[in-house]
Structures are given as C-alpha cells and as structure tokens.
Amino acid sequence: MVAHVKIPKERLRVLLAEKKTVQSIEAATHTKIEVNRDTEEVEILAQESGNAYDELRAADVIKAIGRGFVAKTAFRLLEEDAILAVIDITEFTGKKKNTIERIKGRIIGTHGKSKQRIADMTNTDIVVYGKTVSIIGRAENALLAQKAIETLCNGSMHNTVFRLIERGAGKL
C-alpha cells in the first residue's frame, strides 16, 4: 500500500529543513518517504518489515507537520493511543474571510489564552493554521477538545465551553 499526503509548500520546507525529521519518521514507522516538491505531495511506502498501520502513522505525522505542528509535537502521534483530529473552520463559517478570521479569533482568544486553556484542560496540543484547527492527544482528550472547539465555532460562550470540558474531563 502507498499513502499520499499533500501539504502546503511552506510546511514542506519545515518537513525538509531538518533531514533528521524525515529519517526519524522512516525509522520509527518502517517506511520510505519520498517528497515531490513540485506537486507538494509526500509519498509513503511501507518497507518489507513494516505494515499498513505504520504507513498510516507516518502519514498522520506528516499531516500534522503540514497542519502547522512542529516535528517534536507531531511525533506524539507515534504513541499507541494518540490521534490527530482536524477541524475545518469553513464547515461552521462558510467561505467568508471575515467570518473565518472572527471564529479563529474566538478559538485563539486574547494572546492565545483560550486555545492554551483548552489545550491545558484536555492535555492536548492545538494548532490553528489556515482554515483548520488541528489537535494531537490521546483519543478521548482530543475528541473532548474537538467538541469544545466545535462548540466555540457554533457561537457558545467561552465559559460554557470550559464547563463542558470540566464535565467531560470528569468522565475520563
């Protein structure tokens, strides 16, 4: 099986800036990674000692780097129960640029406080990049953070979202 991941050109530079990043992904997942700079596409092939699950894990790490995470954080996806959740803000806002920026502002908050508080309360890493919000964490925590951010996108007040997280965290 071959996995293909398309990432933005500026994030492709981040992936390739340190040769160790690609080599580390290959070593940890038993894959071979080939980057096509022209099409901005990354091809992931399983080595004979690898399997399809390894390819998917490598693809998730590369997607995370493409969505704005630094490599060190993206490598958390190699842990057994870690997932990458990506929220497309345009699903809540439509295509209007002003609305997208307003919702991104609600998610990030003043000086990044809202985003950081959600990340701290759910023990996840959150990045707002372009028209997406990406979350890395243990499955339960990432899904709780995703629900919180989607609730914010739907217009709920910040305190309501923080209470939702507190109730959800109590169930974990």
Q: What is the pTM of this model?
A: 0.90
Tens-place pLDDT, residues 93-109: 888 999 999 999 999 99
Structural tokens at position 88: 């497309």
- The domain spans of the chain are 2-78, 82-171
* Mean pLDDT, residues 24-49 taken together: 88
Tens-place pLDDT, residues 99-137: 999 999 999 999 999 999 999 999 999 999 999 999 999
CA distances from 24 to 10, 19, 135 (A): 20, 9, 21
> Has domain 2-78 been given CATH number 3.30.1370.10?
yes
Residue the block writes with tokens 């842990």: 79
Assigned CATH topology for domain 82-171: Ribosomal Protein S8; Chain: A, domain 1 (3.30.1370)
Pair 54, 33: CB distance under 8 Å: no
